[in-house]
Amino acid sequence: MQTAIVIIYTLALTVIFLYSLAQLNLLLNYLKAKKKKDDAPVFDFSKAEEIPFVTIQLPLYNELYVVERLLENISKLDYPKDKLEIQVLDDSTDESLQTTRNTIEALQAAGIPIQHITRSNRKGFKAGALKEGLAIAKGEFIAIFDSDFVPNSDWLQKTVPYFKDEKIGVVQTRWAHLNRDYSLLTKIQAFALDFHFVLEQVGRNFGHHFINFNGTAGIWRKTCILDAGNWQGDTLTEDLDLSYRAQLKKWDFKYLEDVETPAELPVAISAARSQQFRWNKGAAENFQKLYGKLLKDPTVSFKTKFHSFFHLLNSSMFLLVLLVAVLSVPILYIKNNNPAYSWYFNVIAGFAISTVIFFGCYWVTYKRIHGGGIKNFFKYIGMFFTFFSVAMGFSVHNSLAVLEGHFGKKSEFIRTPKFNISSLSNQWKSNIYLKKCLSKNMILESLLFLYFGFAIYSAFLVNDFGLILFHLMLFAGFGFVAFKSIFSRI
């Protein structure tokens, strides 16, 4: 039994270390990218003949609190009205349907080229709605925004020109956060998303590795979508799926770090959990669906295959972290009961370099968003350890999502409740889309909170404090997630 624990623990640490090396390589790519001038060809919008027709798709499903803000915002985008159409792809089944209808009628009366498209069923969920809208779209390019996004008026002016290069299939922009500082939960989510949208996306794009359209705040070439096999609803992350299929078809993606698209972060932990579940399960589903094809493609470089492996298995790191966390307690006792193997434990202590790598990578991202300096560095240290504590607290929830994805268990596309927090303040607690129920995950998270409390006690029991910081972070993380989840549901 001890041998099995040690082997699994070591393998998990090894894969996490390899993942950290992939992130380190992306960091180096990012730093190189910042030194390179972007000389990509662009359309000249001073010439009317170079302004292409664009379709904007707005997929909706029961968005009572944000739909008016979305439609009003999109109607103000600066683009010739004779070369623009807006499709509101509305699968709503509640009172928001009438709100949407009324708002669209008012915009149509004001001369906005907008149409309301509804369906009798939710076949394919978001992917199905996008696919049906695409079939009747007039635009050569298809911009997509989720309901909680509020792009700046010059968004199309900054993105569409890059399609001058006929190899470009997608232009993706960086998400910004309307309510970053609303709570600790929103700060943690922003911290994680900033890392993806700054270091990962830029690093992969600069290295000519596969990146992903993020489901919103980006724009597709219509022929790219069709060439790649169109939208498919067999995974929970249809955006990642289509992105990889398009790049396997040799389409290039363009990522614009300097173009921000503001959006709202979930303020309720239940909303964050549903979003995390969908993203993590969907990534695992796409690994099962696509990585074999990518691996067999002789035209894809080894380095891109390496990065794609960890890109598609990004969510699976939660499972490995959970294994390391749970096994670290018996490891503590094994270490102290087997002094002859002290050399082994000295060796695996070297895996702490992974944490150092992550610390450096996240600091570069944090500095990009918040600026450098001693004051911000100390703020960053607190945020780094807080983020990793809470991320580990989500590891049970996210690991179960990953396992479902890998083993092919299908589930419904669960939308993330939106709040329009800027106008509702704390009234989000009465949001009609929030569900009040306890789950088995929350009970397990509570038990792990106690388990890591025992781990801290064990450090004093065996007089070995090598893992106490790790166990303190796990204790705090599972405590935060468990109590926040339980008390928001009762």
Buried b (16+ CB within 10 A) or exposed e, 26-63: bbebbeebeeeeeeeeebeeeeeeebbbbbbbbbbbbb
- Integer Cα distance of 473 and 485 in angstroms: 18
Residue located via tokens 């099962």: 288
Q: Where are the domains of the chain?
A: 44-274
| pLDDT tier, 42 (very low <50, low <70, confident <90, very high otherwise) | very high
pLDDT, residue 486, reads 87
For 433, residues 6+ apart whose C-beta sits below 8 A from its C-beta are 62, 64, 415, 417, 418
Residue located via tokens 């790219």: 224
pLDDT, residue 429, reads 57
pLDDT, residue 412, reads 75
Q: Tell me the per-residue pLDDT of 423-473, one tens digit each, with 9 for 90 and over.
A: 445 555 555 555 656 678 899 999 999 999 999 999 999 999 999 999 999
Polymer length of the chain? 490
Q: Tell me the per-residue pLDDT of 155-187, one tens digit each, with 9 for 90 and over.
A: 999 999 999 999 999 999 999 999 999 999 999
Residue 395 belongs to what H/E stretch?
Answer: helix 395-406
Active site residue 91: yes
- Integer Cα distance of 12 and 224 in angstroms: 38
Calculate mean pLDDT across residues 98-123.
96
Which tokens sit at 3?
Answer: 């041998």
For 114, residues 6+ apart whose C-beta sits below 8 A from its C-beta are 71, 75, 85, 86, 87, 88, 104, 107, 108
Query: Which tops the pLDDT comparison, 38 or 432?
Result: 38
pLDDT, residue 423, reads 45
Q: Tell me the per-residue pLDDT of 227-253, one tens digit each, with 9 for 90 and over.
A: 999 999 999 999 999 999 999 999 999
pLDDT at 81 over 80: yes
Q: Which of 115-124, 215-224, 351-360 has the lowest mean pLDDT?
A: 115-124
- Integer Cα distance of 311 and 200 in angstroms: 9
- Choosing from 90, 91, 148, 194, the catalytic residue is 91
CA atoms within 13 A on the CB side of 137: 30
Secondary structure of residue 88 in the 3-state scheme: strand
pLDDT, residue 304, reads 98
Calculate mean pLDDT across residues 292-321.
98
Which residue, among 442, 445, 470, has the nearest Cα to 455 in the 3D structure? Answer: 470
pLDDT at 283 over 70: yes
pLDDT, residue 411, reads 80
Q: What percent of the chain has pLDDT over 90?
A: 89
pLDDT at 286 over 80: yes
Q: Let me know: does 417 contact 271? Beta carbons within 8 Å.
A: yes
pLDDT, residue 25, reads 99
pLDDT, residue 340, reads 85
Q: In degrees, to the nearest 5, what angle opens at C-alpha 53 toward C-alphas 51 and 54?
A: 115
- Integer Cα distance of 83 and 138 in angstroms: 9
Query: Class for domain 44-274, per CATH?
Result: alpha beta
For 147, residues 6+ apart whose C-beta sits below 8 A from its C-beta are 58, 59, 60, 63, 66, 67, 70, 418
